Structure 1
Amino acid sequence: MTTKPVPSLQRHAVPPGTASLADHERLARQCLDDNAWAYFSGGAADEITLAANHSAWDRITLQPRVLRALAGGHTRTTLLGRTLAHPILLAPIAFQRMAHPDGELASAYAAAALGAGLVLSTQSSTPVEAVAQAMQGDPASGPLWFQLYLQHDRGFTRELVQRAEAAGCDALVLTVDAPTSGARDRERRAGFRLPAGISAVHLAGLAPPPARLLSPGQSPLFDGLLHHAPTWADVQWLQSVTRLPVLLKGVLHPDDARQAAALGVAGLIVSNHGGRTLDTAPATAHALPRVAQAVQGALPLLVDGGIRRGTDVLKALALGASAVLLGRPAVYGLAHAGAAGVAHVLRLLRDELEIAMALTGCATLERVTPALLDLPALQTFTPRCARGDY
């Protein structure tokens, strides 16, 4: 498989015999130093949620169906009014130039070549304008969304939103599950630090928050940092200053999902931050059907966390998701093979999705329902939304 020729990017080949996302992870470990590996692969605390994200998909079984008409099938779907070639997007991951010199630019070219959407991190090490140019240069490209952390300076945040709009981004993805970082033991053991020359380029020029004088016994977290933590009022403010649809990333609780729907957000991403914030938070495969029941088809749902096979994608769609986001595996492909590695990861996952659809008797995504899942706890789960409604 080849990717769109890009003279400015380093040329790499995916090693022969690379047959799965797990192979890409193994190859990436050989390329990344302990510092980068701790950042990209690690989770919070004992990494219970990190492990559960993957194992939860494994524990859901699929029901094969036979003798169904499958000719002419496809993976197309519609999301936020746009037709996508398949329901796989690249999740926002910071500092990708730490994995490979081409960083987010390589991911963008791979996403464009494979028709995948891309969500660019606020903490990208490549400017949104360059990423947008790479995505928009291919007519088959999926959408470009900009992930946003609300900053303590609203004026700076507004300028960042305007910058994303001007670059041609299709939506904003507000991360709401990280008012503080998790206790990332693996990073602390590795003494994690950003390498020289790599930074969050979108945050250049942001002044530090005003210092708060703490009295003896006060908490630097609750009495300091969390004074700037976003609230539901900030979601409404963000909606008021942008013309772009706003999705919330990091929703796991049904009550939060209902409140978000009541505010008229454009979509929700069921996510536990890849197991990097609150350890022992529920796996996203467990949270997704509860969120789907809560919103009853009022808005599209996406999900990330532990997706490693096309069967996982199919299970997510059967549980009520409109699409999935892929995080670590894309970075693993990037680390050892640049744009070609990311493209290969996306191709593998889409091919596996098509195989899983065929073997469960689903020629199109509209036919994917909870009936595919052999899981008694889900027998009463009947999401109202049909695939492609959004």
Structure 2
Amino acid sequence: MSTPRRVPTGLPAVSLGDYAERARAVLPPDVWDYVDGGSAAEVTLTANRRALDGVAVLPRVLRGVDTVDLGTRLLGRRYAMPVGVAPMAYQRLVHPDGEVGLAAAAGAAGVPYVASTLASTPVEEVTGVGADVWFQLYWLRERALVRDLLDRVVAAGCRALMVTVDVPVLGRRPRDLRNGFRLPADVVAANLPGGRDALAHAGAPGVAVPATAPTDASFAPALRWTDLAWLRGQVDLPLVVKGVLDPRDAVEAVRVGADAVVVSNHGGRQLDGAPASVTMLPEVVDAVGDSCQVLLDSGVRGGTDVLRALALGAAGVLVGRPLLWALAAGGQPAARDALGLLAAELADALTLAGCADPAAAAGLRTVRAG
């Protein structure tokens, strides 16, 4: 559970964490809990932050570094820094700018934006802002529906396909259950077939529905490697497998054609008691070698965390909650400022570590703090 810090009113944010209190101040308590919370006892949610704080990076000195180039290549494309915006559902829940605003902020920052299957804005509108958009796919119950969604994704101009594989069922989230959390009538799963009409069994159009309704109504829980192999043959886009913790699964993902894997425990929102993502990152990197890129998400809160991930072998990170906090606090402008702040933090971290660019961070040593 995060503890928002006090930020004097009217002063600019100086770290991504500053946006948390601002978001909490403007969001309804049940929406704050929906964004901030994790599953079960939130052990894994807490572990993500503790594990990242436990990674100490050994800086190099006398390297002649006074400026850095943050640019990197992810999935064969050049981006302004080794960061992407993680897929997050229902962004219009926190601000009217929603997915369009956060995607526009990502485009301005020169980083990829990952649009969720559970976005509250259709993927066609998200790609319309001109950002590099990757699409995150949840597996639907009928392959014909998956095929239709893939056709939309390709036609919309998405640059990559990211399949989330750690949600056979939605993790039990006590905060939402205690709050009786429901999606407002004007926030819908816009990419699902028929939008809210497809969820008619859970509530009539115009009526708030449980947040679990889209997953219960549309998602197929029994995803298998054969399904992923089928998917690989359907689209000529880079394929990313998100939600990998066991190195054996990373190796299997490569075998069926993945171009990248995301080491992730879903931000502590799925299996509680699973290890922190960063704890498993080095093992996954060692297992796949040069056969695919490895990204990290879950718990990333600033430029130092990006440096830690790079030093442990990641090609980049996905950032989630802090950017949703910024969106809630001030819409697209605040999200754009937050990504600029993250770039400044990463530039400082690389400079202080003696690295002229993200690639150089792979040569740093890490130790467990203490």
Structure-1-length-normalised TM-score:
0.85
- Alignment partner, residue 276 of structure 2: 283
- Alignment partner, residue 14 of structure 2: 19
Tell me if 1:327 matches 2:320. yes
Structure 1 residues 129-168: aligned runs within 5 Å: 129-134=124-129, 136=130, 141=131, 143-168=132-157
Q: Could you tell me how far apart the structure 2 residues matched to 1:116 and 1:245 are?
A: 16
Contact kept? 1:319, 1:370, Cα under 8 Å: no
Q: CA deviation at 1:66?
A: 2.2
- Alignment partner, residue 292 of structure 1: 285
Q: Could you tell me how far apart the structure 1 residues matched to 2:221 and 2:243 are?
A: 18
Unaligned 5+ residue runs, structure 1?
Answer: 1-13, 209-223, 378-390
Q: Which amino acid aligns with 1:51?
A: T
- Alignment partner, residue 316 of structure 1: 309
Counterpart of 1:51 in 2: which secondary structure? helix
Contact kept? 2:135, 2:162, Cα under 8 Å: yes
Counterpart of 2:235 in 1: which secondary structure? coil
Contact kept? 2:87, 2:115, Cα under 8 Å: yes
Tell me if 1:178 matches 2:167. yes
> Structure 1 residues 196, 369: closer, same or farther in 2, change over 3 A?
same
Q: Could you tell me how far apart the structure 2 residues matched to 1:198 and 1:106 are?
A: 15
Q: How many residues align?
A: 345
- Alignment partner, residue 240 of structure 1: 233
Tell me if 1:46 matches 2:41. yes
Answer 1 or 2: which has greater strand percent: 2
Q: Could you tell me how far apart the structure 1 residues matched to 2:164 and 2:323 are?
A: 20
- Alignment partner, residue 86 of structure 2: 91
Q: Map Cα deviations across residues 286-321 of structure 1 (whole Å, 9 max, x no partner).
A: 011111111112100111011112110001011111
Q: Which amino acid aligns with 1:275?
A: G
Q: CA deviation at 1:365?
A: 1.6
- Alignment partner, residue 6 of structure 1: none
Tell me if 1:33 matches 2:54. no
Q: Map Cα deviations across residues 53-79 of structure 1 (whole Å, 9 max, x no partner).
A: 111111111223322112452011111
Q: Could you tell me how far apart the structure 2 residues matched to 1:345 and 1:42 are?
A: 21
Structure 1 residues 241-256: aligned runs within 5 Å: 241-256=234-249
In the alignment, which of 175, 187, 201 is matched to residue 190 of structure 2? 201
> Structure 1 residues 130, 15: closer, same or farther in 2, change over 3 A?
farther
Counterpart of 1:282 in 2: which secondary structure? coil
> Structure 1 residues 355, 305: closer, same or farther in 2, change over 3 A?
same
Q: CA deviation at 1:370?
A: 5.2
Unaligned 5+ residue runs, structure 2?
Answer: 1-8, 200-216
Instruction: Indicate the RMSD between aligned Cα atoms, in angstroms.
Output: 2.1
Counterpart of 1:186 in 2: which secondary structure? helix
Contact kept? 1:70, 1:358, Cα under 8 Å: yes
Q: CA deviation at 1:228?
A: 4.4
Q: Map Cα deviations across residues 256-315 of structure 1 (whole Å, 9 max, x no partner).
A: 011111112111011101100100101011011111111112100111011112110001
Tell me if 1:268 matches 2:257. no
Q: Could you tell me how far apart the structure 2 residues matched to 1:169 and 1:301 are?
A: 20
- Alignment partner, residue 211 of structure 2: none
Tell me if 1:357 matches 2:346. no
Q: Could you tell me how far apart the structure 1 residues matched to 2:189 and 2:119 are?
A: 5
Q: CA deviation at 1:144?
A: 1.0
Counterpart of 1:202 in 2: which secondary structure? coil
Q: Could you tell me how far apart the structure 2 residues matched to 1:182 and 1:300 are?
A: 27
Q: Could you tell me how far apart the structure 2 residues matched to 1:338 and 1:54 are?
A: 26
- Alignment partner, residue 340 of structure 1: 333
Q: CA deviation at 1:15?
A: 4.0
